[in-house]
Amino acid sequence: MTKTFLFLSMFSSVLAYSQEDLLKDIDTIKTTETSQPPAFKALQIVTGQSTKLSAKNEWYIVVAHRFGDISTGFKNFFGLDDASTKLGAIYGITDNISVSLSRETNMKTFEGAVKYKLVKQNEKSPVDIVGYHAMALNTDLHKDNYPYLKFGDRLAYLTQALISRRFNDNFSLQLTPSYIHKNLYNPAIEDKNQFLTGLGGRYKISKRISLNAEYFVNFDNHSFYKNPLSLGMDIETGGHVFQLVFSNSQINSDIGYLSNAVGKWGKGQIFFGFNLYRVF
């Protein structure tokens, strides 16, 4: 695992530096003398949301991919035979409000969301504060298994407060209190209402590369699922950010990622993947 990560790190570094002449600043939101640049370069820290927003009239196309559990070895070719993909789009209504829509293969989930800035870090405020709300629609449920299934049973909701601070050009941290509500759930393994708190960070190691990490604690005491822990690497290239991801959760959607992680890092049950954001 360590050798694989080191190899990917070296490969990514070479790729980023080889494109140095083509690189441009992807932060299109202008900053004033008193405001700080965004705490994070990508719209996600790893899989969880960051306080960065798209600029007004700016479109992002999102491709997120997670392979299967690498601990299965050659049986599933280290997870390559079992993958989940998310395709989505994000649009900036203003510099402070954006909306998104995505679809993931895992549970055939559609997810819509709105993200808005409440407070900007500047001389008067030590932090950025961003609100984030998402609604997921699980289209993989069938009446053959749930005879009394109603449309509302397919829905789940997420509310988050994203609170970040850019300490300097290299280091940023974010605290993410979160609330999830599921209309359909199994009371034997999880709660209908779940409260989580996440901590994530970014450390810049070169002009275009940073190392990221995030961890969420779910206070659902009898949950069958694990607390999501993810490590990543941001690689900035011309017009897009490419993120390498290692996580104990295979799901790309916000609600599924936070509440349905099944892997154990100690047993090598890790899902490798990537996020690709292309801005237009």
Residue 33: predicted pLDDT: 46
Number of domains in the chain: 1
Between 5 and 194, name the one with better pLDDT. Answer: 194
Spell out the residues 6+ positions from residue 90 whose beta carbon is closer than 8 angstroms to its own.
Answer: 43, 54, 59, 60, 62, 98, 99, 100
Q: Decide: 245 and 211 in contact? Cβ < 8 Å.
A: no
Pick from 10-24, 40-54, 142-156, 245-259: least confident:
10-24
Angle at 16 between CA 10 and CA 18, to 5 degrees: 100
Apex CA 72: angle with CA 66 and CA 73, to 5°? Answer: 100
Q: Specify the 3-state DSSP secondary structure of 232.
A: strand
Q: What is the mean pLDDT of the chain?
A: 86
Q: What is the value of pTM for the model shown?
A: 0.85
What is residue 236's predicted lDDT score, i.e. its pLDDT? 86
CATH of the domain at 22: 2.40.160.40
pLDDT at 23: 37
Give the structural domain span for 95: 2-279
**pLDDT at position 143:** 82
Give the pLDDT confidence of 236-255 residue by residue, as tens digits: 887 678 999 999 999 999 99
pLDDT, tens only, 101-121: 999 998 899 999 999 999 999
Q: Kindly state the DSSP code that residue 155 receives in the 8-state scheme.
A: E
Pairing of strands 209-218, 240-247: unpaired
| pLDDT above 60 for 14 | no
Token pair, residue 89, equals: 């789009």
